[in-house]
Amino acid sequence: MPHTEEDVKAMLERIGVATIDDLYCDVPQEVIYKEEYDIPSAMSEIELRRHFAELGNKNKPLTIFAGGGAYDHYSPSVIAHLLSRSEFYTAYTPYQPEISQGTLQYIFEYQSMISELTGMEATNASMYDGATAAAEVMFMMVASAKKKNCVLVSSTISERVLNVVKTYAKFHGVVVKEVPEKDGVTDLEALAKMLEEGDVAGVIVPTPNKYGIVEDFTNLADTIHSAKGYLAIYADPSSLAVLRTPAEWGADVACGDGQTLGMPLAFGGPYLGFISCSKGMLRKMPGRIVGATKDADGKRAYVLTLQAREQHIRREKATSNICSNQSLMALYATIYLSLLGKEGLKEVNVLACDGAHYLFNKLIASGKFTPAFDKPFLKEFVVKTDLDMEKVNAKLLENGIMGGLCLGNGMVEFAVTEKRTKEEIDTLVNLMLEA
């Protein structure tokens, strides 16, 4: 706050009042807060750094073998450097395109890259996270299907995503029905029966699912489309470098969480959510969308487009209430995908998949673990054990390792990324067997 006493005096004179308090003359006296705030005294940078260091030391750095929706992927050094350019991070939403071409172009590139990964025709500028993106996709399908108010969600989707979808549905008035699982995957026969009951606007299925299993959706799109419903696939965008795409499965919408595109774990955020869809659903898509155009001199340029869907124009008739996107995280994903590129993203998947299978094979070979499902997986998988996993995980923590997530009934879920070495995996297994 830069004002000197003279500045304040001169400014008050121009305004024609005696004190700054006079600028609050319209505020009832009884609501003016006169007590002291219950926050510490001002800290200098030295003190602030010390405080954060003290707090930071109360956190324990861990070698991570868990996923559950957040994965310890590698983040190239370049990204943090470029993201720290204040022309990017101190800008607002690009409402004035003439002085926001930087933001608008990287969003256009982000949309292009996500569309490459999903195979879909259009992608928006990003959502808050995967779970809220899935909730918005539910609304998209209900709005597109017209007069149908039920959305089927596979119970193999992450519980955290499902919880958010259900919360949004409860208040908005959409009926969410869970499709049962069978052998770790969506029970497609049960799904077909639920479609026959009618009123189904759409279906959301995940791949890889909450057990890390790559699901097989053969014929699913046809079944849903013949019941006049939409198919949405909740996908890990990193995995789409190698796995069959939502478009190849015949999906109408794809969504998911962008954290796997090298974003720091950061205790749960910021990440980003993405939504891609077919052209037919474009005008029901929530959020910002950037389009290419030309300026008055015919120069290539970018603008926010299709804004007639949005809250600032349509108010209560908008497709969503979302106003922002996770713009800087979209830049994160864009730079990540530029650096890794076509080959690198595949290599990330190969390394993670090989590491995961190496760990899986070792666990099974130990005789203490058995496969929970006989299904293909990429970087995350579930095994069963009689070991006291609480005890095992406590021991791992003492050794600076975050072990698998306990799913109940002796099921444990491990995740391996390209950052995990053979030695780390060997140590993990040895410690678990000793416990």
Judged by CB under 8 A, the chain residues 179 through 198 that form the site for another protein are none
φ and ψ at residue 231, rounded to 5 degrees: -110, 125
Give the SS3 label for residue 178.
strand
Q: Residue 123 has which token pair?
A: 């992608």
- When the beta carbons of 197 and 430 are compared against another protein, the nearer one is 430
Site for another protein (CB under 8 A): which residue of 138, 145, 153, 164? 164
Q: Does 223 bind another protein (CB under 8 A)?
A: no
The residue within the footprint of another protein, chosen from 66, 150, 195, 389 (CB under 8 A), is 66
Least distance (Å) between residue 66 CB and another protein: 6
> Which tokens is 44 given?
């200098």
- The single residue listed with the structure tokens 């770790």 is 184
Residues near 371 by beta carbon (within 8 Å), at least 6 away in sequence = 360, 364, 383, 384
- Kindly identify the residues of this chain, within the stretch 345-404, that bind another protein according to CB under 8 A: 345-351, 353-358, 361, 376-378, 393, 397, 402
Query: What's the CA gap between 355 and 361, in Å, rounded?
Result: 10
Q: Which stretch binds another protein (CB under 8 A): 179-187, 196-204, 226-234, 267-275?
A: 267-275
One character per residue 67-106, x = contact with another protein (rule: CB under 8 A): -xxx-x-x-x-x-xxx-xxxxxxxxxxxxxxxxxxxx-xx
Question: Given the rule CB under 8 A, which of 64-72, 140-148, 177-185, 219-227 is the region that contacts another protein?
Answer: 64-72
Q: Which residues are CB-contacts of 367 (< 8 A; sequence separation ≥ 6)? A: none
* Binding track over 226-265 against another protein, x by CB under 8 A: --------------xxxxxx--x--------x------xx
Within 289-308, the residues that bind another protein by CB under 8 A are: 289-297, 299-301, 303, 305-308
The amino acid at residue 384 is K
Q: Contact between 343 and another protein (CB under 8 A)?
A: yes
Closest C-alpha to 258, from 152, 355, 90, 124: 124
In terms of CB distance, is 229 or 355 closer to another protein? 355
Contact of 279 with 121, CB cutoff 8 Å: yes
Among 325, 372, 382, 392, binds another protein (CB under 8 A): 325
Residue 8 binding another protein, by CB under 8 A: yes
| Type of residue at 201 | A
C-alpha 387/C-alpha 408 separation (Å) is 12
**CB 390 → another protein: shortest distance, Å?**
10
Name which of 408, 409, 401 is nearest 425 in CA terms.
401
Q: What is the DSSP letter of 231?
A: E
- Candidate segments 2-10, 145-153, 184-192, 221-229, binder of another protein by CB under 8 A: 2-10
